[in-house]
């Protein structure tokens, strides 16, 4: 069925309008010269200027980026291992518990994840800050990374690995020369997912952070609670732009790799 | 006098009949179970150097498991596997001097053709120049010169198969395993490739073991073949022996087409066996040293191409029966005729006619009343 | 398998196991333990400290169900649980109503469009959650974009006062979770064999009947998966009700947050978390059962 009736076209237009109009409106008003959101005072980039002078917001953004980078890398490494264990180890002792633990963060409310990790950090008497949030985000991102990589491993032709073994490769060499290059797109996608999840998270970070480590979503959240301001619109626009560029660049890169036959 | 079957003339290579010959591979009472299912049951088998061996059987008969045990991907539950007299049962796949061509070819999609072929050589730690030289040799062997830089998905199915073959041969294994090597090729290409594979095998002198469910493939290429069923080797023999002297009704029916008549031994006179069949009267057969006694129930097997069809009654006294044509299937090179023998509730016998000329004077037609006849050399006796 | 590869295989399981045991399972046990503790004002604000097995008996004696009693008696808590379930269910239904036609249209689109449409659905998911909610504040607030648009069109001059209502929470939730509904629906609808519909038409079914008897039953796995992906995280949602809701739209995630950050009652917050988990287990178990039943129907197909 490749014919779109008027009803289906309406469904498409309405659906995408619902998804995109709010974001487009937000972006548009970041270029409003007037501070009053209800009045269009002409085009201006002044709010981007004030944003660049907003020292706390900029340092929060830098912290969030570093945090997302480290936690996504940890989450992807651990999630890939977990995916390999689930897809390749067959039945091992405690598999059910393992599966539950790896995938629970997918359905676990963030308030619970955040609260439980904070209680652990308090009990262990760890100073809270960058590293506690990083650990929390890595744990949270692990399940997502695991799902993404596992999906790729499920469709993986096992005879490729057998062929490598048959040609004299040890299990470890087989992994690095055959398995990893072939699941690399999924690993990259997993990293990207873990990265944006970390960059986006407010709840878990609020629980597990300490003084001096305020993330960008936490800053935005406290600003948003005070009401709408064009400066926040500008900050959001930059964030949207950043994520859009990363995602589009990544998908283009993956597409090129696929075109090359990987 | 020992009578030779039509296929045996070209074969002087028969190490399995030489008691002094050293086998390259030995399965000793190997058994493999998966859960409650026995995939391979107590199999003993020897392969000889330079032999082209085919393992034939329906899917699920255990032939792939047998091959995978030889490659090292499965471990036997009982028994031992020897290569060149050395027990390799517990040797992991990457340390065995055995290479395999996979049914799916399993070409690494992220590597070029040359890197695919050189993969095993690189694992051996050969210097780059040596690898390049050997890869070049292999590309020439499989007639793919100049395609080394391509990716597997830029090749045709036939080219991919050659790359898989070259990759498996690059390490100069003592034994090459081929898992359904022709399954993904179309018919025309398959025929040409079969002969090419035989040429490469005789050129290199490598021992080949091919697993297939396609009997034409097995019979064309193999020096010797084994028919496998339900995890057991039912018969191991050269293709012509399997076809002309199957050990059981199952083998006879699995390899080629055959008509089976029930009957009882009437008399045994030297090599001449007379069988009384309710359907076709007395059937006389020439069997070498038959171990049969009078009154014993037996089956008579008649291959369709060994039966003659005529409008008029043949002159011979025995080995003939009247019937009515129920079906005619024209296949171009030959015609397959189904004849009902013994009335409407009798038995359908298949007769194949070679179409030697483009026009026939008195063609056979549906509902024609016809005579079937055959030589004493045509039929074979099977135990029920 | 050789000794070396066994060891590698062991590590593959052991490393993530260790991490998850330390940072998922242990904290979890912690929540349970503290949920059973007395509130105290000291920092950390909960009374019994676990200090080795010598004090285990004292510790066990100190446990009580006081916090759970409080949750049971105070209507604030169970009302917010119920409200969370209600909002989650409504969100799921509305997302299904919007998402199904959208996914159906996407799956029916020409193949070369499909990838673009798919990316367009996923893209908002990559933008920050907070931003998406913030965008709706600007739209829904009094004299916000919606009011402006309505008065510009001459439809209404009165402010709608949607912000801080249940409707606003619902809109924000549907907006945020819609991609989770559309993606699994699209995946099942796209895989649907078009010749089945042609067969139905060939056998005399009208397009509507073909949809009801063929498409809809076959897309049930997608409906189930999408509903679960929306319903389950919606229950514990905090940010949306906090920013778009008002005093009478208190969801349980917000209650937990308040108990923890404002009232500093850690044991009570933990007890709320435990009950929230129990509330979550029920729909998950139902989903699993539905899945197993379907798998059984399929005659052991993978």
Q: Specify if C203 maps to a domain.
A: yes
Q: Specify if A79 maps to a domain.
A: yes
Residues A50, A52, A57, A58, Cα dihedral to 10°: -170
| HSE-up of residue A255 (Cα within 13 Å, Cβ side) | 7
| Tens digits of residue pLDDT in B59-97 | 888 999 999 999 999 999 999 999 999 999 989 999 999
Q: The tokens 């626009």 sit on which residue? A: A237
Average pLDDT over residues B234-243: 93
Q: Specify if C212 maps to a domain.
A: yes
Distance CA C233, CA C255 (A): 16
Strand partners, B175: B98, B207
The Cα of B107 is separated from the nearest Cα of chain A by a number of Å equal to 7
| Tens digits of residue pLDDT in A23-44 | 888 888 888 887 766 667 778 8
Q: Specify if A246 maps to a domain.
A: no
Task: Specify the range with the lowest mean pLDDT, choosing from B73-77, C241-245, C281-285.
Answer: C281-285
Strand partners, B341: B323, B347
Give the Cα-Cα-Cα angle B296, B302, B308 (nearest 5 degrees): 135
Q: Do A165 and B171 touch (CB under 8 A)?
A: no
Distance CA A81, CA A127 (A): 29
Average pLDDT over residues B159-165: 94
3-state secondary structure of B259: strand
Helix (H) or strand (E) holding C293: helix C266-297
Q: Specify if A249 maps to a domain.
A: no
Q: What pLDDT does B2 receive?
A: 46
pTM of the model: 0.82
DSSP letters along B195-251, please? Answer: HHHHHHHHHH--EEEEEES-HHHHHHH-SEEEEEETTEEEEEE-HHHHHHS-SSHHH
The Cα of B113 is separated from the nearest Cα of chain A by a number of Å equal to 12
Among the partner-chain residues A37, A111, A247, the one whose CB lies closest to the CB of C138 is A37
Q: Specify if A45 maps to a domain.
A: no
Distance CA A217, CA A236 (A): 10
Backbone angles phi, psi at B136, to 5 degrees: -60, -45
Q: Is the pLDDT of residue C173 over 90?
A: yes
A199 inside 8 A of chain C by CB? yes
Task: State how many domains chain A has.
Answer: 1
| Tens digits of residue pLDDT in C74-123 | 777 888 888 899 999 999 999 999 999 999 999 888 888 888 888 888 88
Alpha-carbon Rg of chain B, whole angstroms? 25
Q: Which of A21-30, B326-335, C268-277 has the highest mean pLDDT?
A: B326-335
Q: Specify if A31 maps to a domain.
A: no
User: What residues of A are in contact with residue C243 (Cβ under 8 Å)?
Assistant: 224-225
Q: What pLDDT does B344 receive?
A: 84
C143 inside 8 A of chain A by CB? yes
Q: Do C127 and A244 touch (CB under 8 A)?
A: yes
Q: Which of C281, C186, C229, C221 is nearest to C88 (CA)?
A: C229
Beta-strand ranges (E) seen in chain A are none
Average pLDDT over residues A97-116: 84
Among the partner-chain residues A8, A102, A170, the one whose CB lies closest to the CB of C105 is A8
Q: Do A224 and C238 touch (CB under 8 A)?
A: no
Q: What are B276's two structure tokens? A: 């009384």
pLDDT tier at B11, thresholds 50, 70, 90:
low
Q: What pLDDT does C300 receive?
A: 35
Q: What pLDDT does A163 receive?
A: 94
C131: CATH: 1.10.3720.10
Q: Is the pLDDT of residue A49 over 80?
A: yes
Q: What pLDDT does C193 receive?
A: 82
Distance CA B222, CA B37 (A): 29
Strand partners, B286: B272
DSSP letters along B113-137, please? Answer: HHHHHHHHHHHTT--HHHHHHHHHH
Task: Specify the range with the lowest mean pLDDT, choosing from A99-103, A252-256, C209-213.
Answer: A252-256
Strand partners, B382: B299
Other Cβ atoms less than 10 A from the Cβ of A173: the count is 15
Distance CA C81, CA C75 (A): 10
Other Cβ atoms less than 10 A from the Cβ of A64: the count is 25
Distance CA A205, CA A118 (A): 10
User: What residues of A are in contact with residue C31 (Cβ under 8 Å)?
Assistant: 112, 115-116, 119
Q: Which of B354, B328, B325 is nearest to B340 (CA)?
A: B325
Task: Specify the range with the lowest mean pLDDT, choosing from B211-225, B295-309, C248-262.
Answer: C248-262
Q: What pLDDT does C57 receive?
A: 53
pLDDT tier at B126, thresholds 50, 70, 90:
very high
Average pLDDT over residues C242-268: 83
Task: Tell me if C266 sits within 8 A of A118, measured CB to CB.
Answer: no
Which residue of chain B is at minimal alpha-carbon distance from A160?
A: B106
Show the domains of chain B with their CATH numbers. Answer: 11-253 (3.40.50.300), 257-382 (2.40.50.140)
Average pLDDT over residues C176-200: 88
The Cα of A88 is separated from the nearest Cα of chain C by a number of Å equal to 9
B92 inside 8 A of chain C by CB? yes
Other Cβ atoms less than 10 A from the Cβ of A221: the count is 20
Q: Is the pLDDT of residue C16 over 70?
A: yes
Distance CA A119, CA C251 (A): 22
Helix (H) or strand (E) holding B286: strand B281-286
Chains in contact with A, where contact means 3 or more Cβ–Cβ distances below 8 Å, are B, C
Beta-strand ranges (E) seen in C90-141 are none
Q: What are A168's two structure tokens? A: 């004299």
Q: Specify if C253 maps to a domain.
A: yes
Q: Sheet holding B272-277: strands in order across?
A: B281-286, B272-277, B259-269, B297-302, B380-382
Q: Specify if A133 maps to a domain.
A: yes
Among the partner-chain residues B104, B124, B154, the one whose CB lies closest to the CB of A168 is B124
Q: What pLDDT does A230 receive?
A: 82
Q: Do A19 and C137 touch (CB under 8 A)?
A: no
A261 inside 8 A of chain B by CB? yes
pLDDT tier at C145, thresholds 50, 70, 90:
confident
A90 Cβ neighbours under 8 A, 6+ residues apart: none
C158 inside 8 A of chain B by CB? no
A108: CATH: 1.10.3720.10
Q: Do C127 and A23 touch (CB under 8 A)?
A: yes
Q: Which of C158, C225, C241 is nearest to C188 (CA)?
A: C225
Distance CA B224, CA B17 (A): 12
Q: Do B123 and A160 touch (CB under 8 A)?
A: no
The Cα of C73 is separated from the nearest Cα of chain A by a number of Å equal to 22
Q: Specify if A121 maps to a domain.
A: yes
The Cα of A40 is separated from the nearest Cα of chain C by a number of Å equal to 11
Average pLDDT over residues C252-270: 83
Strand partners, A144: none
User: What residues of B are in contact with residue A261 (Cβ under 8 Å)?
Assistant: 109-110, 151-154
C3 inside 8 A of chain B by CB? no
Distance CA C197, CA C191 (A): 13
Alpha-carbon Rg of chain C, whole angstroms? 25
Q: What pLDDT does B339 receive?
A: 95
Q: Which residues constitute the domain of residue C138?
A: 75-264
Q: Which of B220, B205, B237 is nearest to B50 (CA)?
A: B205
Q: Cα B244 to the chain's mean position, in Å?
A: 13
Among the partner-chain residues C9, C28, C102, the one whose CB lies closest to the CB of A15 is C102
ipTM of this complex: 0.83
Q: Do B108 and A173 touch (CB under 8 A)?
A: no
Which residue of chain C is at minimal alpha-carbon distance from B74?
A: C1
Which residue of chain B is at minimal alpha-carbon distance from A167?
A: B120
Helix axes A130-154, A110-123, angle to 10 degrees: 130
C25 inside 8 A of chain A by CB? yes
Q: What pLDDT does C1 receive?
A: 46
3-state secondary structure of C119: helix
Beta-strand ranges (E) seen in B48-144 are 52-56, 78-83, 86-87, 98-101
pLDDT tier at B9, thresholds 50, 70, 90:
very low
CB-based contacts of B157-160 (< 8 A; 24+ apart in sequence):
B157/B184, B157/B185, B157/B186, B157/B189, B158/B185, B158/B189, B158/B193, B160/B105, B160/B107
DSSP summary character for residue A50: H
pLDDT tier at B8, thresholds 50, 70, 90:
low
A159 inside 8 A of chain B by CB? yes
Q: Do B94 and A162 touch (CB under 8 A)?
A: no
B58 inside 8 A of chain C by CB? no
Distance CA B278, CA A142 (A): 76
| Tens digits of residue pLDDT in A176-203 | 999 999 999 899 989 988 998 898 899 9
User: What residues of C are in contact with residue A92 (Cβ under 8 Å)?
Assistant: 13
| Tens digits of residue pLDDT in C42-83 | 445 555 444 445 455 555 555 667 777 777 777 778 888 888
Q: Specify if C284 maps to a domain.
A: no
User: What residues of A are in contact with residue B102 (Cβ under 8 Å)?
Assistant: 159, 162-163
Q: Do B104 and A159 touch (CB under 8 A)?
A: yes
C 4-23 → B contacts, CB under 8 A: 5
Average pLDDT over residues C153-172: 82
Q: Which residues constitute the domain of residue A139?
A: 62-233
Q: Specify if A88 maps to a domain.
A: yes
Task: State how many domains chain C has.
Answer: 1
Which residue of chain C is at minimal alpha-carbon distance from B94?
A: C2
Q: Is the pLDDT of residue A261 over 50?
A: no
Q: What pLDDT does A258 receive?
A: 61
- A-B CB pairs within 8 A amount to 69
A112 inside 8 A of chain C by CB? yes
Q: Which of B78, B26, B73 is nearest to B207 (CA)?
A: B26
Q: Sheet holding B224-229: strands in order across?
A: B98-101, B175-179, B207-212, B52-56, B224-229, B232-237
Among the partner-chain residues C28, C131, C148, the one whose CB lies closest to the CB of A239 is C131
Strand partners, B179: B211
């Amino acid at each position: 069925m490749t014919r779109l009736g008027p009803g289906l076209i309406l469904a498409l237009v309405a659906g995408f309008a619902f998804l995109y109009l709010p974001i487009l409106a937000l972006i548009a008003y970041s270029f409003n010269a007037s501070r009053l959101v209800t009045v269009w005072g002409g085009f201006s980039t002044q709010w981007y200027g004030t944003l660049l002078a907003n020292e706390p917001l900029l340092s929060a953004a830098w912290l969030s980026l570093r945090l997302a980078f480290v936690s996504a890398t940890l989450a992807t490494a651990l999630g890939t291992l977990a995916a390999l264990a689930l897809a390749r180890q067959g039945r091992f002792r405690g598999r059910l518990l393992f599966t539950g633990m790896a995938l629970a963060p997918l359905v676990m409310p963030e308030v619970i994840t955040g609260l439980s990790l904070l209680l652990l950090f308090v009990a262990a008497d760890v100073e809270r800050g960058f590293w506690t949030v990083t650990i929390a985000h890595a744990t949270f991102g692990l399940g997502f990374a695991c799902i993404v990589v596992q999906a790729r491993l499920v469709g993986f032709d096992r005879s490729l690995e057998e062929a490598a073994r048959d040609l004299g490769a040890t299990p470890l060499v087989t992994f690095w020369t055959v398995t990893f290059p072939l699941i690399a797109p999924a690993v990259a996608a997993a990293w990207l997912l873990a990265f944006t999840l970390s960059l986006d998270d407010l709840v878990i970070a609020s629980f597990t952070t300490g003084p001096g480590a305020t993330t960008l979503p936490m800053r935005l959240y406290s600003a948003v609670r005070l009401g709408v301001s064009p400066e926040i619109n500008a900050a959001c626009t930059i964030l949207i732009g950043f994520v859009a560029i990363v995602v589009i660049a990544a998908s283009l890169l993956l597409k090129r790799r696929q075109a090359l036959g990987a | 006098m020992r009578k030779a079957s039509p296929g045996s003339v070209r074969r002087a290579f028969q190490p399995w009949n030489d008691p002094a010959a050293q086998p390259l591979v030995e399965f000793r009472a190997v058994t493999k179970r998966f859960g409650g299912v026995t995939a391979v049951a107590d199999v003993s088998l020897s392969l000889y150097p330079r032999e082209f061996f085919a393992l034939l059987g329906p899917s699920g008969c255990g032939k792939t498991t047998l091959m995978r045990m030889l490659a090292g991907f499965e471990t036997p539950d009982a028994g031992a596997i020897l290569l060149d007299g050395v027990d390799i049962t517990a040797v992991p796949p990457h340390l065995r001097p055995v290479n395999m061509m996979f049914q799916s070819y399993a070409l690494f999609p992220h590597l070029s053709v040359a890197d695919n072929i050189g993969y095993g050589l690189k694992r051996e730690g050969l210097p780059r120049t040596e690898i390049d030289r050997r890869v070049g040799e292999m590309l020439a062997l499989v007639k793919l010169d100049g395609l080394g830089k391509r990716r597997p998905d830029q090749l045709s199915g036939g080219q991919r198969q050659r790359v898989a073959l070259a990759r498996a041969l690059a390490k100069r294994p003592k034994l090459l395993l081929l898992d359904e090597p022709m399954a993904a090729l179309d018919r025309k290409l398959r025929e040409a490739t079969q002969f090419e594979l035989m040429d490469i095998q005789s050129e290199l002198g490598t021992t080949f073991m091919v697993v297939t469910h396609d009997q034409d493939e097995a019979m064309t290429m193999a020096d010797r073949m084994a028919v496998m069923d339900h995890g057991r080797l039912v018969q191991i023999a050269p293709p012509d022996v399997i076809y002309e002297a199957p050990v059981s009704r199952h083998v006879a029916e699995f390899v080629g087409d055959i008509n089976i008549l029930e009957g009882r031994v009437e008399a045994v006179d030297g090599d001449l066996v007379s069988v009384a069949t309710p359907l076709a009267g007395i059937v006389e057969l020439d069997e070498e040293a038959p171990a049969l006694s009078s009154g014993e129930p037996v089956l008579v097997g008649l291959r369709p191409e060994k039966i003659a069809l005529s409008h008029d009654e043949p002159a011979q006294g025995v080995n003939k029966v009247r019937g009515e044509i129920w079906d005619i299937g024209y296949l171009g090179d030959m015609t397959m005729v189904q004849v009902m023998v013994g009335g409407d509730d009798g038995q359908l016998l298949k007769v194949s006619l070679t179409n030697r000329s483009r026009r026939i004077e008195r063609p056979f037609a549906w509902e024609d009343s016809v005579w079937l006849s055959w030589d004493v050399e045509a039929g074979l006796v099977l135990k029920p | 398998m050789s000794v070396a590869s066994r060891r590698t295989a062991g590590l593959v399981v052991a490393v993530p196991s260790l991490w998850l045991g330390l940072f998922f399972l242990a904290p979890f046990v912690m929540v349970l333990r503290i949920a059973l503790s007395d509130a105290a004002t000291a920092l950390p604000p909960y009374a019994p400290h676990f200090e080795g097995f010598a004090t285990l008996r004292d510790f066990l004696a100190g446990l009580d169900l006081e916090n759970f009693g409080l949750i049971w008696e105070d209507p604030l808590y169970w009302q917010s649980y119920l409200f969370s379930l209600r909002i989650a269910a409504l969100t799921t239904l509305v997302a299904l109503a919007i998402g199904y036609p959208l996914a159906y249209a996407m799956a029916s689109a020409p193949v070369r469009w499909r990838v673009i449409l798919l990316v367009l659905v996923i893209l908002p998911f990559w933008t920050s959650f907070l931003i998406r909610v913030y965008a709706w504040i600007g739209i829904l607030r009094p004299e916000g974009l919606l009011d402006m648009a309505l008065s510009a069109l001459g439809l209404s001059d009165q402010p709608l006062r949607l912000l801080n209502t249940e409707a606003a929470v619902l809109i924000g939730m549907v907006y945020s979770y819609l991609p989770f509904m559309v993606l699994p629906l699209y995946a099942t609808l796209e895989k649907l064999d078009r010749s089945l519909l042609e067969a139905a038409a060939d056998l005399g079914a009208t397009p509507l009947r073909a949809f009801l008897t063929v498409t809809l039953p076959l897309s049930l796995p997608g409906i189930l998966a999408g509903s679960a992906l929306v319903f389950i995280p919606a229950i514990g949602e905090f940010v949306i009700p906090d920013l778009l809701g008002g005093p009478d739209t208190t969801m349980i995630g917000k209650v937990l947050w308040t108990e923890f950050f404002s009232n500093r009652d850690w044991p009570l917050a933990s007890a709320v978390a435990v009950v929230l988990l129990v509330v979550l287990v029920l729909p998950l178990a139902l989903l699993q059962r539905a899945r197993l039943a379907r798998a059984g129907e399929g005659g052991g197909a993978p």
